[in-house]
Amino acid sequence: LAVPGVQKLSPYVTGKPIDELARELGIEPARIIKLASNENPLGPNPRVLEAIRGELSELTRYPDGSGFRLKAKLAERFGLKSEQITLGNGSNDIIDLVARCWLAPGRNAVFSAHAFAAYPLCTQAAGAESRVVPAVDYGHDLDGMLEAIDEQTAVVFIANPNNPTGTWLGAQALESFLDRVPERVLVVLDEAYIEFTEGDELPNGLNYLDRYPNLLVSRTLCKAYGLAGLRVGYSASSPQIADVLNRVRQPFNVNSLALVAACAALDDEQYLAEGRRVNRAGMAQLEQGLAELRLKWIPSRGNFLAVDLGRDAAPINAGLLREGVIVRPIAGYGMPTFLRVSIGTEQENARFLEALRVVLDQ
Ligand code: PMP
């Protein structure tokens, strides 16, 4: 029998392969658009593809288990020391590592309602308790989270911006929170989407590492850098925290293609800038289209929008699927009237809006 916390978890549901779904719906796979997983709509970066091709001849070798080059590049890029960085198989792996090192039966992790699904998953898998603090206007209630911290709290998870709501914390709110969290509690600041809007009212968590020794910033190359399929993320923290994580980390948790791809991706500022531009334009396009449909949404600083349909979203999701448009229902996040749509290309956004109009008219 699995431990009680695990028994209480609902599985993290991922979408079907597109060709499988197309067969089920009886439509051409090319007619399907996927705006469900907050992926980068630009498609693979040619510089990344070239780096991967160069690495293929080494496939019989194990990857560099310490990720020396990637860590050095990240350290140089962000003004950190290599010893502060931990590499993960996606940033999910970082969250899991934190849970395995800091959480155990008798301990708890504090996080907000409508927070990322991996937090309860990893917390409960470690036998610890999830302390879920009600949200305010779908955003984090930082005062409520501080109140929820007790002697058994070992970790606080905060995502900035948060998925699936897109809500964000400004510098002042974040600093005042970090000032008040007891130093024995590890704060995981999850910045999976930060590159899309950094500076745009969003503080850069890396700037706080010197001031708060109990802070760990987790980031990913799977979103703005476009490497979702390769699974690569990292954290920055004090060298002491990184040392703990590295003791538990599987030695080859980041594969060799992901390592070279990440280095190439970090070297390409232009791809990142283009992603930001497309995201900003797409967000404005979707907001305008949703307003024309008289729908509400939660203002977002991610590459996605949580749209409130004002009624059970499941039938509308089913209707969108019949139109070949995949978005994400978020009833499992306690938001049954919402659908989360990722920002796509201009054409994808237009197709989503048109499909939504058709479904709402039915
Ligand atoms: N944190 C948040 C808030 C996310 O939304 C996601 C991806 N859905 C992740 C972490 C994990 O991303 P990855 O493992 O692909 O780096």
Q: How far is the CA of 122 from the centre of ligand 1 (A)?
A: 13
Report the C-alpha gap between 138 and 115 in whole angstroms.
9
Q: What is the pLDDT of residue 211?
A: 97
Report the C-alpha gap between 133 and 110 in whole angstroms.
7
Q: What is the pLDDT of residue 8?
A: 85
**Cis before 17? omega within 30:** no
Mind listing the pLDDT tens digit for each residue in 222-277?
A: 999 999 999 999 999 999 999 999 999 999 999 999 999 999 999 999 999 999 99
Asked if 122 and 147 sit in the same domain, the reply is yes
**Can you give the C-alpha Rg of the chain in angstroms?**
20
Q: What is the pLDDT of residue 342?
A: 98
> Is residue 200 over pLDDT 90?
no
Our mutation pick for probing the ligand 1 site, out of 13, 14, 38, 91, counting the most ligand atoms within 8 A of Cβ, is: 91
Nearest partner of 332 among 81, 21, 9, 97, judged by Cα: 9
Report the C-alpha gap between 14 and 8 in whole angstroms.
19
Q: Whose CA is nearest to atom 3 of ligand 1?
A: 163
Q: How far is the CA of 361 from the centre of ligand 1 (A)?
A: 34
Is residue 154 a contact partner of residue 126, using CB atoms and an 8 Å limit?
no
Positive or negative, the Cα torsion across 190, 193, 195, 199?
Answer: negative
Asked if 38 and 55 sit in the same domain, the reply is no
Asked if 22 and 133 sit in the same domain, the reply is no
* Distance, first Cα to last Cα, the chain: 46
Report the C-alpha gap between 227 and 301 in whole angstroms.
20
> Is residue 5 over pLDDT 90?
no
CATH number for position 189: 3.40.640.10
Angle between helices 118-125 and 91-102 (to 10 degrees): 30
Asked if 155 and 32 sit in the same domain, the reply is no
Q: How far is the CA of 91 from the centre of ligand 1 (A)?
A: 6
Work out the burial of residue 155: count CB atoms within 10 Å of its CB; fewer than 13 is exposed, 13-18 middle, 19 or more buried: buried
DSSP string for 88-109: ESSHHHHHHHHHHHH--TT-EE
Q: What is the pLDDT of residue 250?
A: 94
Q: What is the mean pLDDT of residues 266-290?
A: 97
Mind listing the pLDDT tens digit for each residue in 78-109?
A: 999 999 999 999 999 999 999 999 999 999 99
Residue numbers of the domain that contains 288: 4-43+270-361
Our mutation pick for probing the ligand 1 site, out of 222, 328, 330, 333, counting the most ligand atoms within 8 A of Cβ, is: 222
Q: How far is the CA of 234 from the centre of ligand 1 (A)?
A: 11
Domain final residue, candidates 268, 302, 319: 268
Instruction: Provide ipTM, 2 decimals.
Output: 0.99
Is residue 6 a contact partner of residue 300, using CB atoms and an 8 Å limit?
no
Q: What is the pLDDT of residue 10?
A: 82
Is residue 98 a contact partner of residue 109, using CB atoms and an 8 Å limit?
no
How remote is the C-alpha of 38 from its chain's centroid?
Answer: 8
Is residue 188 a contact partner of residue 160, using CB atoms and an 8 Å limit?
no
> Is residue 314 over pLDDT 80?
yes
> Is residue 179 over pLDDT 80?
yes
Q: What is the pLDDT of residue 237?
A: 98
**Cis before 164? omega within 30:** yes
> Is residue 187 over pLDDT 90?
yes
Asked if 37 and 61 sit in the same domain, the reply is no
Asked if 31 and 58 sit in the same domain, the reply is no
Q: Hey, how many other C-beta atoms are within 10 angstroms of the C-beta on 137? A: 9
Could you give the 3-state DSSP secondary structure of residue 340? strand
Alpha-carbon distance values, 107 to 157, 192, 254, 351 (Å): 14, 25, 29, 47
Say how many domains are in the chain: 2
Q: How far is the CA of 360 from the centre of ligand 1 (A)?
A: 30
148 φ/ψ angles, rounded to the nearest 5 degrees = -75, -15
Ligand 1: residues whose CB is within 6 Å?
Answer: 38, 90-92, 116, 159, 163, 190, 192, 220, 222, 228, 233
> Is residue 205 over pLDDT 80?
yes
Asked if 81 and 227 sit in the same domain, the reply is yes
Q: What is the pLDDT of residue 356?
A: 98
> Is residue 145 over pLDDT 90?
yes
> What would the two tokens of residue 325 be?
């448009």
309 φ/ψ angles, rounded to the nearest 5 degrees = -90, -5
Q: Which atom of ligand 1 is nearest to the CA of 95?
A: 10
Domain final residue, candidates 268, 294, 319: 268
Asked if 262 and 150 sit in the same domain, the reply is yes
Q: How far is the CA of 358 from the centre of ligand 1 (A)?
A: 31
Q: Which atom of ligand 1 is nearest to the CA of 228?
A: 15
Alpha-carbon distance values, 165 to 160, 204, 298 (Å): 10, 19, 7
